[in-house]
Amino acid sequence: MDVNTAAKKPVMLSGIKPSGELTLGSYVGAIRNWAERADDYDCYYFMADLHAITVRQKPADLRRRTIEQLAQYIACGLDPEKNTLFIQSHVHEHAELGWVLNCYAMFGELSRMTQFKDKSAKNAENINGGLFTYPSLMAADILLYQPDYVPVGEDQKQHVELTRDIANRFNGVYGETFKIPQSFVPKIGARVMSLVDPTRKMSKSEDEDPGRIILMDKPEDIMRRFKRAVTDSEAEVRYDPEKKPGISNLMTIYAAATGRSFAEIEAEFAGHGYGDFKTKVGEAVVELLRPIREKTEEILKDKAYLESVYTDGARRAQYIARKTLDKVYRKVGFVRH
């Protein structure tokens, strides 16, 4: 991809931490939507390994998951020829701009971030500075590439709003520097919930969520988890997230896997028991994920190919990131060498 011609398209960017295994929610809520936009946008997608270390990681596991996540990105339809795929830590401009933006993010703003409160509660023994300031790094991730849109789940919209606030504050002091990005939230599948607790988002961490479906799950494991999925006592397949969160979550998943509308799903399962419905949802997910699992396994065997993808991706990303960072350094008054 020629960076000069690609820059004429609207820019879209996003990333996922390799701190756990990619889930069904990661795919239908994010990656599949990314893949559909490759022809219309200049797309940058990365493995957010700098963000992952705000929580202690086993180094070997982090390295493995980072490479596996890259292979899964490709298996999910992200063509490296059409999308810039890279590892966050390979583009040092992320960390450098993250520090600058720390100085334009207010303490009160950072302390109000919902995810900081949630993660602090879960990691009380390791409430580190990175956990508190990582929204500034996330702002750097975004603003480096001057994107028009940032595809996010509902739970990440707060961070994009903070990014917009930081960018506007910086622009207000130094003049037009950053493009102000918009959140992009897909309508269906934007928030896939846990099968055992449909009030919580499906988590990448196994310890947190026994009701998750990961992309590499075997068909028999997928079916077993769907058969155990939480429902309710009404025995009616009807979309009502407040009163029927379990069934509504299964309907969201089935809609994402089959393309059917909620009305069509309600008609299809009218008069059927929940057992039949859960089996059908499980079967649809098995077939949705089968080619992804098989393609990922195939790609992981070719280490040279994966290395070429992330090396070329970092080169392309850095070409754009360096331009933004140079502009920022000039604006704040750093002496360049």
Tens-place pLDDT, residues 219-265: 999 999 999 999 999 989 999 999 999 999 999 999 999 999 999 99
Band of pLDDT at residue 4, cut at 50, 70 and 90: very low
Distance set, CA 121 to CA 114, 115, 153, 211, 263 (Å): 11, 10, 21, 21, 39
> How much is the pLDDT for 202?
86
DSSP string, 140-196: HHHHTT--SEEE--GGGHHHHHHHHHHHHHHHHHHSS-S---EEE--SSSSSPBPSS
d(CA 194, CA 323): 41
State in words which class domain 3-184+303-332 has: alpha beta
Confidence band, pLDDT 50/70/90 cuts, at residue 190: low
Residue 23 CB-density burial (10 A; 0-12 exposed, 13-18 middle, 19+ buried): buried
Q: How far apart are CA 84 and CA 46, in angstroms?
A: 8
Q: Which is more confidently placed, 125 or 145? A: 145
Residue 254 CB-half CA count within 13 A: 27
pLDDT for 5:
45
The closest of 172, 163, 115, 170 to 139, measured between CA atoms, is: 163
pLDDT digits (tens, 9 = 90+) for 287-319: 999 999 999 999 999 999 999 999 999 999 999
Gap between the Cα atoms of 247 and 269, Å rounded: 12
Q: Where in the chain is the domain with CATH 3.40.50.620?
A: 3-184+303-332
Options 17, 119, 244, 280, the catalytic residue: 119
| Most confidently predicted of 29-33, 181-185, 193-197, 201-205 | 193-197
Q: Are strands 182-184 and 149-151 parallel, antiparallel or unpaired?
A: parallel
Active site (annotated) includes residue 179? no
**Residue 204, pLDDT score:** 72
117 catalytic? Reply is no
Which among 204, 244, 278, 280 is annotated as catalytic?
204
Fill in the DSSP letter of residue 10: P
Where, residue-wise, is CATH 1.10.240.10 in the chain? Answer: 219-297
Given the residues 8, 58, 117, 201, the one annotated as active site:
201
Q: What is the mean pLDDT of residues 325-329?
A: 98
Q: What are phi and psi of 201, to 5 degrees?
A: -65, 145
Distance (Å, rounded) from C-alpha 254 to C-alpha 282? 8
Q: Is the pLDDT of residue 102 over 90?
A: yes
pLDDT interval class at 97 (50, 70, 90) = very high
Residue spans of beta strands (DSSP E) within the chain: 11-16, 42-47, 83-87, 149-151, 182-184
Given the candidates 1.10.760.10, 3.90.330.10, 1.10.240.10, 1.10.3720.10, the CATH classification of the domain at 219-297 is 1.10.240.10
Compute the distance between CA of residue 166 and CA of residue 101 in angstroms, rounded to an integer. 7
Active-site residue, 119 included: yes
